[in-house]
Amino acid sequence: MTSERRFPVRLDVRNGAVDMSHGSGGRAMAQLIGELFRRYLDNALLAQGNDQALFAPPPGRLVMSTDGHVISPLFFPGGDIGSLAVHGTVNDVAMAGARPLYLAAGFILEEGFPLAKLARIVESMANAANAAGVPVVAGDTKVVERGKGDGVFITTTGIGVVPEGILISGDRAEPGDAILVSGSIGDHGVAILSKRENLGFETEIHSDSAALHGLVAAMVEAVGEIHCLRDPTRGGLATTLNELAQQSGVGMQIREDAIPLRPEVAAACELLGLDPLYVANEGKLIGICPPDRADDLLAAMRAHPLGADSAIIGEVVEDPHRFVQMETRFGGSRIVDWLAGEQLPRIC
Amino acid sequence: MRYIDEFRDQRLARRLAKTIAAEAQPSREYRLMEFCGGHTHAIFRYGVQHLMPPNVRFVHGPGCPVCVLPMACIDQAIALATQHPVTLCTYGDLMRVPASERKTLLKAKAEGADIRMVYSTQDVLRIARHQPHRQVVFFAIGFETTTPPTAVAVKVARSEGLDNFSVFCNHVLTPPALRTILSAAGPRGARLDGILGPSHVSTLIGSRPYWFVAQEFGIPVVIAGFEPLDVMQSALMLVRQLNEGRCEVENQYTRAVTEAGNRKAQALMDEVFQVRARFEWRGLGILPDSALTLGEAYADLDAERRFPTQVAAAREVRGCECPAILRGVKQPTDCRLFGNPCTPENPMGSCMVSSEGACAAYWSYGRLREPARAGAATG
Amino acid sequence: MCLAIPARITAIDVAADTAKVALGGVSKDVSLALVEGAAVGDYVLVHVGYALNKISEEEAERTLRIIGEMGLLEPAQDTGLSEMAPASGTGGRS
């Protein structure tokens, strides 16, 4: 499967659609890969045309992560499933303090999916990968029958290498540690909701989908003793804080008025009866570090473009119940619970 | 956000809290029922109860239309969606409410029933217009706030000749429920000293319908706005009425509530609906003249007539105390199922699944004050 | 009861009986079927895609003022007016 192979008829990207032959492993699939995927996702390893990418890993400990992306709608303000698939896995790898090296991407395409849309998605993915400096070096494509997929599903797997001396893990939070967040919460979830047809409101909010490994590198360089890093994606800030509290066997105390929140996101959540603490983010992270390092960490985060609105939002405490408690901006107190299921808009 | 943020001001809250603490007489208790589930939610979400002195307490009322909807109604909605080729449209609040055999609308949807979540009755009309050859049923719930939107949709459907549109009507009325709570109040019922009246039901019905509370039952009412400062000011107004021996219906939510209410909306409701002779309320039993059904002029849009369904008799989960909690007689922590196994992930009854339900509010926001149940926290 | 949020009318479509409302930078279309005499610039309560009622700005300001007067000042802020006059409620019997 080299790019020099000729096909009798060029792929009609403008008007064509995915059909079952594109997943069958034969010429049609080769053409799809050669004339669509490889047009955008091109690098030395992919160009070899093997079913695997061969490379020598740099010295150090490796991390690996994988993520399936099933988002709907596929295109939203600030991104699409392609860029999201890159950012999501780059971030998962980066949350170990690692430098991401490579990505692999598996596509499951639904029969009938327009090639024009697929091309947009793949181009977006390639742009995101290039901007992040993390190439997609292996891939796979399958096709399922019409009705058995939601247009396209993408699974990305990433590997990275962790610098010497860094040990970042969700079970390392200790009572007294400071809790920081890298910017405003809820942007991605609201941007998505604004596109879903039955919630017709318009807003200027864009998804915050972004690759955070540069920010993480700056943070780790400034403060080697970071205990935990995690990006609050599905389920929002609240869910991720609860996960970390559980893993580390601690409680947390946060302050509502310290949490960065854009007015438009707040307003959209009011209208829908949603709590921004539970709304998804795709370009933010939570950092937990020893209290005496908090100011340095904050400064390092704020110095980076993706962390300009960073804030210290609370601290880790002893708590056998592992509650995340919040002082509300009203001056009262409540716990911030795990989300039961997906937060649904409510009328009452 | 104008008219929202100002009513959440922390500084004003602290000052009001001091006033309430100064005026609440230490020798007595003030048990104030917030009738409306939206108030329950606000109280817990902002932690208002922590700003009250210990002798001023909120008793949670049944004003959560999801909580008082009998299981049988959800069973019937699921039956509508599974026994007939219809698109069933519902507000998000109902998707996870447990019906018989732990079924939910969400599960039925996962199993293939055409059930769609909508934000507005306008969405239902859109869906009906979009698929003229398929029946669309709207699962209508809610108190008087949510009823006029259904009335509007019914009239629009009629005027546009949308034959495929119908309503499964479960709208309920606030004053009869209040009357039932108050009639049951007393030594064996909930001990109540005052009522915080609902915000948005009152914008529709006005303040007059509450006069009977003061006149017949001798219990003061303050119609309270939706924001936490409104709730606190209203609590203070009730404390003052009680201290001064007054028994009146006062309106704190004057920016949105008048004595007469929204006459246009009331006229629409009168035109489209008629009062049902009887309706079963979860927790409160069968109440006369407490719910609505489509009036004769619109009877052909009544989904119950259009689509007869078979449902078995519904039974509550054994041990579920939702009925007593809805009447204000018990607290969520009095229920032996609370926290184990009943949690928002695994709700046994509607009080846990609805975000306004007292149990959900306690679990999601208030557990830090309930050390006795702390062992269930990680469930 | 139920979730209703104040928002400002920014445009009205008389033929469709709808309005565009804005809240904190988010805008939404709502039906005006339940209100009368709504004008651009008015604040309305929004619930399930409908404007339920107009909000009286005058009453809103008045309520806030009374809340302010009802609140006891903290000692550090005491300007000598710490004894607030007993208020008769914002509406009395209504």
CB contact under 8 A, B377 and A323: yes
The per-residue pLDDT for range A83-130, each reduced to its tens digit, is 999 999 999 999 999 999 999 999 999 999 999 999 999 999 999 999
Q: How near does any CA of chain B get to the CA of C15, in Å?
A: 14
pLDDT of residue C84: 35
CA A52, CA A55: separation in Å to the nearest integer? Answer: 10
- CA-CA distance, B204 to C47, in Å (whole number)? 12
Q: Is residue A303 part of a domain?
A: yes
Tell me what pLDDT residue C83 has: 35
Q: Which residue of A has its CA nearest to B93?
A: A346
Same domain, A247 and A298: yes
In angstroms, the separation between the Cα of residue A197 and the nearest Cα of chain B is 10
**Average confidence score pLDDT of chain B:** 90
Classify residue C27: in a domain, yes or no.
yes
CB-closest option in C24, C48, C94 to B251: C94
Q: Kindly indicate the confidence band of residue A276, based on its pLDDT and cuts at 50, 70 and 90.
A: very high
Same structural domain, A186 and A330: yes
pLDDT of B365 reads: 79
* Residue pairs spanning A and B at CB distance below 8 A: 109
B 135-174: CB under 8 A from C: 142-146, 148-149, 152, 174
Average pLDDT, chain C: 79
Q: Is C71 on the interface with A (CB under 8 A)?
A: no
For residue C58, the domain's CATH number is: 2.30.30.140
- Binned at pLDDT 50, 70 and 90, residue A274 comes out as confident
Is A261 among the domain residues? yes
**Count of residues making up chain A:** 348
- The pLDDT of residue A199 is 55
CATH number at residue A272: 3.90.650.10
Give B 334-353 residues with CB within 8 A of chain A: 343-345
Q: How confident is the model at residue C91 (pLDDT cuts 50, 70, 90)?
A: very low
- pLDDT value of position B168: 97
A9-67 pLDDT, tens digit per residue, is 888 999 999 999 888 888 888 899 888 998 999 888 888 888 889 999 889 999 999 99
**Number of structural domains in chain A:** 2
Across A256-265, B120-129, B261-270, B318-327, least confident range = B318-327
Instruction: Report the number of distinct structural domains present in chain C.
Output: 1
Give CA torsion, residues B22, C65, C41, B145, to 10 deg.
30
Residue A155, pLDDT > 90, answer yes
**Which positions in chain A touch B46 (Cβ < 8 Å)?**
328, 330, 332, 334
Q: What pLDDT is recorded for position B366?
A: 72
Average pLDDT over residues B76-90: 95
Residue pair B150/B90 in contact (Cβ under 8 Å)? The answer is no
Q: 81-120 in B: which are within 8 Å (CB) of C?
A: 91, 119-120
> What per-residue confidence (pLDDT) applies to B313?
75
| Residue C61 included in any domain | yes
Instruction: Based on the fold, state whether residues A144 and A80 are members of the same structural domain.
Output: yes
User: pLDDT digits over A212-262, tens only?
Assistant: 999 999 999 999 999 999 999 989 999 999 999 999 999 999 999 999 999
pLDDT at A210 over 90: yes
For residue A325, CA distances in Å to A8, A322, B10, C46, C87 come to 65, 9, 18, 31, 36
A317: CB partners within 8 A, 6+ apart: A175, A176, A250, A251, A252, A253
Which domain range does residue A301 map to? 178-335
Given pLDDT bands bounded at 50, 70 and 90, which one contains residue B189?
low
Per residue in B319-375, pLDDT tens? 999 888 888 888 899 999 998 899 887 888 888 877 778 898 888 877 765 433 333
Q: Is the pLDDT of residue B277 over 60?
A: yes
Query: Do the domain assignments include residue A170?
Result: no
C25 touches chain A (CB under 8 A): yes
Asked if the Cβ–Cβ distance from A273 to C7 is below 8 Å, we say no
Alpha helices (runs of H) in A133-212, residue ranges in sequence order = 187-195
HSE at residue B141, side-chain half, CA atoms within 13 A, is: 28
Instruction: Flag if A271 and C1 touch (Cβ within 8 Å).
Output: no
Q: What is the CA radius of gyration of chain B?
A: 21
The predicted pLDDT at position B222 comes to 98
Residues of B in contact with A275 (CB under 8 A): 45
Q: How confident is the model at residue C73 (pLDDT cuts 50, 70, 90)?
A: low
Pick from A290, A270, A285: which is nearest to A218 by CA? A285
- Between residues A6 and B249, which one has the greater pLDDT? B249
Q: Cβ of C70 and B119 within 8 Å? A: no
Say which CATH number the domain at A101 has.
3.30.1330.10
pLDDT on residue A348: 67
Tell me whether B66 touches chain A (CB under 8 Å).
yes
Q: Are residues A183 and A260 in the same domain?
A: yes
Q: Which domains does chain B have, with CATH numbers?
A: 1-64+174-261+321-367 (3.40.50.11750), 71-171+262-304 (3.40.50.11740)
Identify the band that residue A150 occupies on the pLDDT scale cut at 50, 70 and 90: confident
Average pLDDT value for residue range B35-41: 89
Q: Is residue A173 part of a domain?
A: no
Residues whose CB is less than 8 angstroms from the CB of residue A191 and which lie 6 or more positions away in sequence, other chains included: A76, A77, A78, A203, A205, A206, A207
Which chains share 3+ C-beta pairs under 8 angstroms with B? A, C
Whole-number pLDDT of residue A325: 95
Rounded CA separation A82/A152 (Å): 10
- Domain extent for C52: 1-75
Flag whether A13 is in a domain.
Answer: no
User: Mean pLDDT score of chain A, rounded to an integer?
Assistant: 91
| Confidence band of C3 (pLDDT split at 50, 70, 90) | confident
Of A178-192, A314-328, B92-106, C52-66, minimum mean pLDDT range? B92-106
